[in-house]
Structure 1
Amino acid sequence: MAREVEVDQEVCIGCGLCASIAPEVFRLNDGGVSEVYNQSGAEEDKIQQAIDSCPVSCIHWR
C-alpha cells in the first residue's frame, strides 16, 4: 500500500511553498492553508521535497 501525505492544517501558516513545489498535490484552500487534493498527483520524491521545504513541518506521511 502506498503512503499517503497529509497536512496538519492547525499548524500550517499558508506560505504556499508546498503548492509551488507540487501543485499537482497541494493547494491553498479557502481558509488560506494548504490541503492535499490529489494524493497521486506527483512522485513520492517530489512530495518529499515539499515536506522537507515546509517551514513549520506540518506535512507528514501516514
Structure 2
Amino acid sequence: MADRWHVEVDRDLCIGSGMCVGGAPEEFRLDAARRSHPVTPDREPSEEVLDAAESCPVEAITITLAETGEPVFPPED
C-alpha cells in the first residue's frame, strides 16, 4: 500500500491563478478570497495533485508523506 500524502497550500504565497483548479478540478478549490485549498488534504497519492503542485507559478502547494512529513513536492535539494 502506498504512503498517504498531506497536501497544503500556503495562503500567503497563493496568488489565485487557478492553475491547480484548472489541472485538478476535483482536488482543489478557490475560496472567496481567490486562495486555493485542497479538497482532501490527507489523501492517496495522485498524479493530478502532483501535476497541479508542479504547475503552481509560485510553488504554494506542498506535498509531504502524511506519516513522516518527508517532502514529496517540492523535493529537497
TM-score w.r.t. the length of structure 2 is 0.70
Greater share of strand = 2
> What is the number of equivalent residue pairs in this alignment?
61
Greater share of helix = 1
Instruction: Verify: 1:46 aligned to 2:48, yes or no.
Output: yes
Letter of the structure 1 residue corresponding to residue 8 of structure 2:
E
Q: Identical aligned pairs, as a percentage? A: 36
Q: Which has the higher contact order (CA 8 A, sep 6+)?
A: 1
Query: For residues 46 and 32 of structure 1, what CA distance do their matches in structure 2 show?
Result: 20
Instruction: Verify: 1:37 aligned to 2:39, yes or no.
Output: yes
1:11-22 correspondence to structure 2 within 5 Å: 11-22=13-24
Change (3 A) 1:26 1:43: same
Partner of 2:10: 8
Whichever of the two has the greater Rg, that structure is 2
Change (3 A) 1:24 1:43: farther
8 Å CA contact 2:16–2:35 kept in 1: the answer is: yes
Please list every run of at least 4 consecutive aligned residues from structure 1 whose deviation after the TM superposition is greater than 6 angstroms.
Answer: none
